[in-house]
Chains A and B, each alone.
Chain A
Amino acid sequence: MQKNEHWRAADNRIGLLFIAPFVVAALVFMVYPVLESIRMAFYYIDPLNPDAQRFAGLDNFGTVLRDPLFWSSFRNAAYWTFVSTILQTVAGVGIALLLHLPLRGISVFRGLLLFPYIVPTVVIALCWQWMLNPEIGIVNHTLRGAGIIDENIYWLSSPDMAMLSTIMLNVWKYTPFVTICVLARLQTVPTELYDAAKVDGAGVLRRFTDITLPQLAEVLAVVVVFRTIWTFNKFEEIYLLTRGGPGTSTYNLAIYSFEQSIANLRMGVGAATGVIMMLMLFLGSILYMRLFRFQDET
């Protein structure tokens, strides 16, 4: 009995040892920055003179909430997140279903699928900039060659097209994440369920709606939450592709926060924006979980 307890204690110590690096990393790279951002949100901080900080109370939050650009950035962020997440989810499920087919060589396609996800965003954004170049970009060239368009499309030069372009980039890059998660779940769905449904006369669509989708519900719930949070917070794709332009048509809250901190030299206001974003996402996630009763089912 004592020996068992001794082993259990030793196991616990080894477990703690293994988990320690991740805890330290989380403390340094997640917890500390979050706490520091919350603190900074209550101070006036000029990044060029970071030692001279003055307590601001709620002023920074007031500045943010009174700024029309914050609200238009919020609307852009909500639109970009909603459309991107929906398209990623639909495309991700569709591609996962295709990759789940027992075809020869399908593993090659599964491997290729990861390509957009593993290439650094900077590289992708710069490639897309060239591809979408109205004069010499391959996209217009191809569309013109195929007779689909007569005049060049200015992908990044009009507010609507710029938003569409940033969404396309985001969907292209992150659909593989959805596909991988869904594919992993699909591979664990018992085939007996499909066999029984076939025996009962269920067609392809019926099998999809009555078996596949319910089986995917949990993983999709998690994927949608993650993709919503990550997309809402996205900075680099929009910044590299459009810098929030033309005008401020593709500004989202991450870019707003960055511009406040660096261009406007108001670190406190930038931090307050970050805190507001965190609260929005926190409340949104809770609401989403409640709506879909995800917590109960798990």
Chain B
Amino acid sequence: MDDNKEARSRRKFLEDVSLLAAGSVAGSMLPTLPAFAQAKSKATGTVRVWGEPGPYGGVAVDGMNEWAAKFAPGLKFQIESLSWDSVYVKLMTDLAARRPANCISVESPIAMQLMAQGLLEPIDDVVKQVGRERLIDGAKWEYWGAWKGKQYVLPAHHQPHLLLVRQDVINELGLGDPDKWDWNDLLNAARTITEKKPGMAGISLALGRNLCTDYHFAALLHSAGGRMFDPSKQYEVVFDSPNTVEALEYVKSLLPYMPKSAVSASFLEVVDSIVTGKAAMAFYWGRPYGRAWDENKEVFKNLEAYNHARHPKTGNRSNWNDFQGWCIPKANNPYIKEVKAALAYYQTSKVWPVRYCQSLVPNVSPVYKDTAADPELQKHPFFETKKRTIDTYYTGSLKYSSSTANELLGGVNPLAGIVHGRSILAQTVQKVVIDNMKPADAAKWGAKELESVRKEHFSLVI
């Protein structure tokens, strides 16, 4: 018994040493992480941390607890998961009740709304400690949340949704290279699959009144060259445009090739459809890979991801990207100093950012160059067969990334969070696919709703 224990601890020691050695070698080739002094804190209690479902929030909190063990022994960081569809409601109700979490991991549209509303603590000091130059090529700090010269959101990961395809089905039906597709090719592929593969939908998109639909439609809107607001003209609403109409018409043309429940689908339903093999293609983030690995190896083997299809006229590809970051509520938060120190600690560690990304490959993409280049990151079984797909998620997607919080990367948009809170994009889509409204009329309806958001919250953008 004791011998076993000893053998185990020896093995563990050898593993640790070899990891350390590998880390040192790798570290010598990478940008040096900034070192900074950490002050001790006598604060006590539980620091509440909000994150979306998934293991990565918990990993970050483990890193923060490592900081607490060294520098604030009276503190314990604790993760609370918020489901995607209720994140806005939970944030708003708790902020209204003046009891927000002490640290929040949230997607850029909501983070930017909170930032512009003056609810967040600036974190330029943390950014300085983390290292401004470390940010991955192709991304800018403002994508996560900067406003009027101050940074309010610290990058946690970037997270694009791409075009997921069942490569075996695509090959079997001779549908060509999805990386070269435009919208017409995608539509044709969806139609062909639906017609030739009984029991399998061509493509799965969320069309319910929820955040997932907003994010799916935003990719098409931006690909068509459309947008909601124009930051260069005091956030004038520009949604009522031929581009929006075209994107809506495209969704309608895809509808017959989607699962019948698409009009009420959200995140989970889209993942289900692709993992269970009921759909051959989907717009989705990297999460289905983990589930397919656990539940359906055949799907995992054949599942590949590509940057979204080009718009036939504009040539634009648009990958929605969450640009998920950490932010710190300013009011009623007794742990601002400690949260800043813990965030800086975990983000400057060599170990925690890698563990963070490895906890759900390829869903959470690294945001720092040194993390992306760390050989430890690739010590994950998915890299053996899915390297191209993972690279597309991690780096190849950034060139085409966009979000409603920074439409076409043309300027920060703090109104986007409110737009998503009201599900305006999803409702616009539903006007077309459920109520059979003409796309042009739906675009007008959406524009009217956006105008009301702008009118009510104009103070946020001036």
Whether, in the assembled complex, A116 has its beta carbon less than 8 Å from a beta carbon of chain B, the answer is no
Across the interface, name the chain A residue whose C-beta is closest to B98. Answer: A50
Across the interface, name the chain B residue whose C-beta is closest to A263. Answer: B421
User: B423 to A154, Cβ gap below 8 A?
Assistant: no
User: B260 to A152, Cβ gap below 8 A?
Assistant: yes
Whether, in the assembled complex, A134 has its beta carbon less than 8 Å from a beta carbon of chain B, the answer is yes
A246, B263: Cα distance in complex, Å: 7
B174-213 CB contacts (< 8 Å) to partner A: 208-210
**For B208, what are the chain A residues with a Cβ–Cβ distance below 8 Å?**
243, 245-246
Q: Chain B nearest CB: distance from A258 CB in Å?
A: 8
4 A-B pairs closest in CB distance: A47-B96, A157-B264, A245-B209, A263-B421
A265, B119: Cα distance in complex, Å: 15
Whether, in the assembled complex, B309 has its beta carbon less than 8 Å from a beta carbon of chain A, the answer is no
Whether, in the assembled complex, B435 has its beta carbon less than 8 Å from a beta carbon of chain A, the answer is yes
Whether, in the assembled complex, B117 has its beta carbon less than 8 Å from a beta carbon of chain A, the answer is yes
Whether, in the assembled complex, B14 has its beta carbon less than 8 Å from a beta carbon of chain A, the answer is no
Interface mask (B301-323 → A, CB under 8 Å = 1, otherwise 0) = 00000000000000000000000
User: A243 to B96, Cβ gap below 8 A?
Assistant: no
**For B29, what are the chain A residues with a Cβ–Cβ distance below 8 Å?**
none
User: B260 to A246, Cβ gap below 8 A?
Assistant: no
User: B209 to A47, Cβ gap below 8 A?
Assistant: no
Choice from B98, B263, B278 contacting A157 with Cβ under 8 Å: B263
Whether, in the assembled complex, A94 has its beta carbon less than 8 Å from a beta carbon of chain B, the answer is no
User: B278 to A245, Cβ gap below 8 A?
Assistant: no
Cβ contacts A to B, 24 pairs, < 8 Å: A47-B95, A48-B92, A48-B95, A48-B114, A49-B117, A50-B96, A50-B98, A135-B272, A154-B260, A156-B264, A157-B263, A243-B85, A243-B209, A246-B263, A247-B430, A247-B434, A248-B427, A249-B434, A262-B88, A262-B89, A262-B92, A263-B89, A264-B421, A266-B456
A244, B264: Cα distance in complex, Å: 11
Across the interface, name the chain B residue whose C-beta is closest to A134. Answer: B261
Across the interface, name the chain A residue whose C-beta is closest to B272. Answer: A135
Interface residue tally for chain B (C-beta within 8 Å): 34
Interface centre among A134, A152, A247, A259 (most CB of B within 10 A): A247
Whether, in the assembled complex, A257 has its beta carbon less than 8 Å from a beta carbon of chain B, the answer is no
**For B340, what are the chain A residues with a Cβ–Cβ distance below 8 Å?**
none
Whether, in the assembled complex, A179 has its beta carbon less than 8 Å from a beta carbon of chain B, the answer is no
With A48-B96, A134-B261, A265-B421 already in contact, the answer to whether A246 and B119 are too (CB < 8 A) is: no
**For B117, what are the chain A residues with a Cβ–Cβ distance below 8 Å?**
48-49
Choice from A48, A162, A245 contacting B119 with Cβ under 8 Å: A48
Whether, in the assembled complex, B93 has its beta carbon less than 8 Å from a beta carbon of chain A, the answer is yes
Whether, in the assembled complex, B287 has its beta carbon less than 8 Å from a beta carbon of chain A, the answer is no
A262, B261: Cα distance in complex, Å: 27
A22, B427: Cα distance in complex, Å: 44
Whether, in the assembled complex, B431 has its beta carbon less than 8 Å from a beta carbon of chain A, the answer is yes
User: B92 to A242, Cβ gap below 8 A?
Assistant: no
A266, B117: Cα distance in complex, Å: 15
Choice from B88, B276, B430 contacting A245 with Cβ under 8 Å: B430
Q: Interface SS of chain B: helix, strand, loop or mixed?
A: helix
A267, B92: Cα distance in complex, Å: 11
User: A247 to B95, Cβ gap below 8 A?
Assistant: no
Choice from B209, B262, B278 contacting A247 with Cβ under 8 Å: B209
Whether, in the assembled complex, B418 has its beta carbon less than 8 Å from a beta carbon of chain A, the answer is yes
Across the interface, name the chain A residue whose C-beta is closest to B262. Answer: A157
How many CB-defined contacts (below 8 Å) exist between A and B? 81
Whether, in the assembled complex, B422 has its beta carbon less than 8 Å from a beta carbon of chain A, the answer is yes
With A157-B260, A157-B261, A263-B422 already in contact, the answer to whether A246 and B95 are too (CB < 8 A) is: no
**For A244, what are the chain B residues with a Cβ–Cβ distance below 8 Å?**
209
User: A247 to B431, Cβ gap below 8 A?
Assistant: yes
A285, B175: Cα distance in complex, Å: 64
Choice from B98, B210, B263, B278 contacting A243 with Cβ under 8 Å: B210
**For B423, what are the chain A residues with a Cβ–Cβ distance below 8 Å?**
263
Q: Chain B nearest CB: distance from A152 CB in Å?
A: 7
**For B209, what are the chain A residues with a Cβ–Cβ distance below 8 Å?**
243-248
Interface centre among B85, B259, B427, B434 (most CB of A within 10 A): B434
Across the interface, name the chain A residue whose C-beta is closest to B114. Answer: A48
Interface residue tally for chain A (C-beta within 8 Å): 28
**For B421, what are the chain A residues with a Cβ–Cβ distance below 8 Å?**
262-265
A158, B272: Cα distance in complex, Å: 20
A186, B177: Cα distance in complex, Å: 73
Interface centre among B92, B95, B262, B418 (most CB of A within 10 A): B92
Across the interface, name the chain B residue whose C-beta is closest to A260. Answer: B422
A134, B422: Cα distance in complex, Å: 27
Across the interface, name the chain A residue whose C-beta is closest to B276. Answer: A135
A262, B88: Cα distance in complex, Å: 8
**For B272, what are the chain A residues with a Cβ–Cβ distance below 8 Å?**
135
A135, B430: Cα distance in complex, Å: 22
A159, B418: Cα distance in complex, Å: 26
**For B422, what are the chain A residues with a Cβ–Cβ distance below 8 Å?**
259, 263-264
Q: Chain A nearest CB: distance from B261 CB in Å?
A: 5
**For A49, what are the chain B residues with a Cβ–Cβ distance below 8 Å?**
117
User: B264 to A246, Cβ gap below 8 A?
Assistant: yes
**For A152, what are the chain B residues with a Cβ–Cβ distance below 8 Å?**
260
Q: Chain A nearest CB: distance from B254 CB in Å?
A: 16
**For B264, what are the chain A residues with a Cβ–Cβ distance below 8 Å?**
154, 156-157, 162, 242, 245-246
Across the interface, name the chain B residue whose C-beta is closest to A245. Answer: B209
User: B88 to A246, Cβ gap below 8 A?
Assistant: no
User: A154 to B261, Cβ gap below 8 A?
Assistant: yes
**For B457, what are the chain A residues with a Cβ–Cβ distance below 8 Å?**
265
Besides A48-B92, A245-B430, 9 other CB < 8 A contacts? A48-B119, A154-B260, A154-B264, A242-B264, A244-B209, A245-B208, A247-B435, A263-B89, A265-B421
Across the interface, name the chain A residue whose C-beta is closest to B207. Answer: A246
Interface mask (B433-456 → A, CB under 8 Å = 1, otherwise 0) = 011000000000000000000001
A244, B430: Cα distance in complex, Å: 13
**For A265, what are the chain B residues with a Cβ–Cβ distance below 8 Å?**
92, 418, 421, 456-457
A73, B74: Cα distance in complex, Å: 51
Q: Chain A nearest CB: distance from B264 CB in Å?
A: 4
Q: Chain A nearest CB: distance from B265 CB in Å?
A: 8
**For A50, what are the chain B residues with a Cβ–Cβ distance below 8 Å?**
96, 98
**For A248, what are the chain B residues with a Cβ–Cβ distance below 8 Å?**
209, 427
Across the interface, name the chain B residue whose C-beta is closest to A266. Answer: B456
A150-185 CB contacts (< 8 Å) to partner B: 152, 154, 156-159, 162
Across the interface, name the chain B residue whose C-beta is closest to A50. Answer: B96
A242, B261: Cα distance in complex, Å: 12
B79-98 CB contacts (< 8 Å) to partner A: 85, 88-89, 92-93, 95-96, 98
Q: Chain A nearest CB: distance from B433 CB in Å?
A: 9
Interface mask (A237-253 → B, CB under 8 Å = 1, otherwise 0) = 00000111111110000
Q: Chain A nearest CB: distance from B460 CB in Å?
A: 10
Choice from B259, B418, B430 contacting A246 with Cβ under 8 Å: B430
B406-425 CB contacts (< 8 Å) to partner A: 418, 421-423
